[in-house]
Amino acid sequence: MLENLTERLTKALRNLRGVGKLSEENMAEALAEVRQALLGADVHFKVVREFIERVKAESVGKEVLQSVTPGQQLVKIIHDELVNLLGGGATELSPIRPLKILMVGLHGSGKTTTSAKLAKLLKKRGMNPCLVACDVYRPAAIDQLEALGRQIDVKVYSDRGENSAVKIAKRFERQASEDGYDAVIFDTAGRLQIDEGLIKEIIDIKDLVNPAEVFLVADSALGQEAVNVAKHFNEAVSITGVVLTKLDGDARGGAALSIKTVSGAPIKFAGVGEKLDDLDVFHPDRMAQRILG
């Protein structure tokens, strides 16, 4: 059976029990274990490097406590640092009304499903949301959003004859802004990879609707690619929050740390299943535990 990180660090720091302070030298073996654990959780290697530096800065010179093993002590420092990093920033939704939310992300990340999950959650919070189908490339995406809208009794705006997502958003803004919605969720198209045409389109939609929130929807199994995805979308449309999907799968979720580090945007929600109720507020402590394994 695989040893957990606490056991591995305890072993790596076995000679430290009851003596002195944590130092760069006496922690080297343990930090190598931490590095392996984070890489094993698919955190991007540059993010790992940065994180290890932070942990070093936090630990060097700390007295080794008598009450816990040095391994436990280091795990606590790492855990707290991870929670701190993952949890920094406001996780509440913008108070601006109507609350316009632009959903962006790669194809298959869970954007359409998450749009409907969010609409359901806002409805539960007493709001009156609607959904706008801006994925003009996949007719099935419009069908999917309409079917989801029916399930949760939320109006879906679509225009199958229109092949410009920007025009759909424009028409919605003209026609529906008087309809009394206090939340509007724009589901946009994704690609399997970042694509300049797609990026240009979401920039145009963003400029037009001026959303209070721009959510990057990212699959928790994205792995190393998470850094590029977060960087590109953030540079293009300044994301205000992240929804990490498919956390019910077995991904260790290192993507969470990579995305947060690169974009600085808080992870606001976690997708934990295919059903429309399977959206949780993000818990940094659970995520830290999962990454550390």
What is the identity of the amino acid at 231?
Answer: K
Rounded CA-CA distance 234/246 in Å is 21
Find the angle CA(48)-CA(52)-CA(57) to the nearest 5 degrees.
150
Is 290 a residue that touches ligand GDP (CB under 6 A)? no
Assess whether the previous peptide bond of 211 is cis (omega < 30° from 0): no
Nearest approach, Cβ of 49 to ligand GDP (angstroms)? 30
Rounded CA-CA distance 12/70 in Å is 9
| 198 and 190 Cβ atoms separated by less than 8 Å | yes
Of 8-16, 54-62, 168-176, 246-254, the segment contacting ligand GDP by CB under 6 A is: 246-254
Is 10 a residue that touches ligand GDP (CB under 6 A)? no
Position among 69, 113, 158, 240 found at the interface with ligand GDP (CB under 6 A): 113
Shorter beta-carbon distance to ligand GDP: residue 61 or 108: 108
Shorter beta-carbon distance to ligand GDP: residue 9 or 267: 267
Nearest approach, Cβ of 155 to ligand GDP (angstroms)? 19
Is 10 within any annotated ligand binding site?
no
Is 108 a residue that touches ligand GDP (CB under 6 A)? yes
Is 272 a residue that touches ligand GDP (CB under 6 A)? yes
Is 271 a residue that touches ligand GDP (CB under 6 A)? yes
Shorter beta-carbon distance to ligand GDP: residue 111 or 268: 111
Of 71-79, 86-94, 104-112, 251-259, the segment contacting ligand GDP by CB under 6 A is: 104-112
Distances in whole angstroms, Cα of residue 84 to Cα of each of 54, 76, 175? 11, 12, 44
The interface mask with ligand GDP, positions 160-189, x = CB under 6 A, is ------------------------------
Query: What token pair was written down for 146?
Result: 């309409």
Nearest approach, Cβ of 126 to ligand GDP (angstroms)? 24
- Residues belonging to the binding site for GTP are 105-112, 187-191, 245-248
Known binding residues are: 105-112, 187-191, 245-248
Give contact residues for ligand GDP (rule: CB under 6 A). Answer: 105, 107-113, 190, 245-246, 248-249, 271-274, 278
